[in-house]
Amino acid sequence: MDFPAALCALHREVAVLYGATARRFDLTVQQAELLRQLDLESLSFGELARRLGCDKSNMTGMVDRLVRRGLLVRQTDPDDRRIVKPVLTDEGDQLVVRIRAEFAAVVGQRCADLPATEKKQMAELAAVVSAALSRQDNEQL
């Protein structure tokens, strides 16, 4: 299997596992991903849409549903009042932690037979490749 095909295959398996994990917490996979991104760093609606690879018009509804569940609040930027940032509530933050732990547990269980050195190597390579793929010059997208 060549490099792009291997990325595709891995992506598929992680998507299935991550989706199943999200569902256990009554979240869609997109909701879990949105919360995870906000946990990584503070993002506006537009930046969030770019990270999730979807149109900004979708964010309104997605954030609304998570606000209704008490996992997010809207925060308007005082310096530029056009900009709004969804921010994790304590409950939202705790949920992200629980999802991450659950996902890590499933991955750990399934990869139990993998040598630690290979996992370490994989983690390092995945970080490098992620960085390469995420280049923001996405004009051709």
Partner DNA sequence: TATTGTTATACTCTATAACTATA
Partner DNA sequence: TATAGTTATAGAGTATAACAATA
54 sits near DNA (criterion: CB under 7 A):
yes
Which residues contact a second copy (rule: CB under 8 A)?
Answer: 1-20, 33, 36, 51-53, 100, 103-104, 106-108, 110-111, 113-114, 118-130, 132-135, 138, 140-141
Residue 81 site contact among DNA, a second copy, none (CB < 5 to 8 Å, cut-off depends on kind): DNA
AA letter at 5: A
Residue closest to 66 by CA, chosen among 100, 92, 36: 92
Specify the stretch interacting with DNA by CB under 7 A; choose among 53-61, 94-102, 103-111, 122-130.
53-61
Cβ contact 49:55 at 8 Å: yes
The CA distances from residue 63 to 8, 13, 33, 81, 115, in Å, are 29, 27, 12, 18, 40
CA angle 63, 59, 80 (to 5 degrees): 90
Task: Confirm or reject binding of residue 141 to DNA (CB under 7 A).
Answer: no
- Give the contact letters, 86-125, x = binds to DNA (CB under 7 A), - = no: ----------------------------------------
Give the count of alpha carbons within 13 A of 78, CB side only. Answer: 0
Q: By the criterion CB under 7 A, which residues form the site for DNA?
A: 19, 23, 28, 30-31, 44-47, 52-63, 65, 74, 79-85
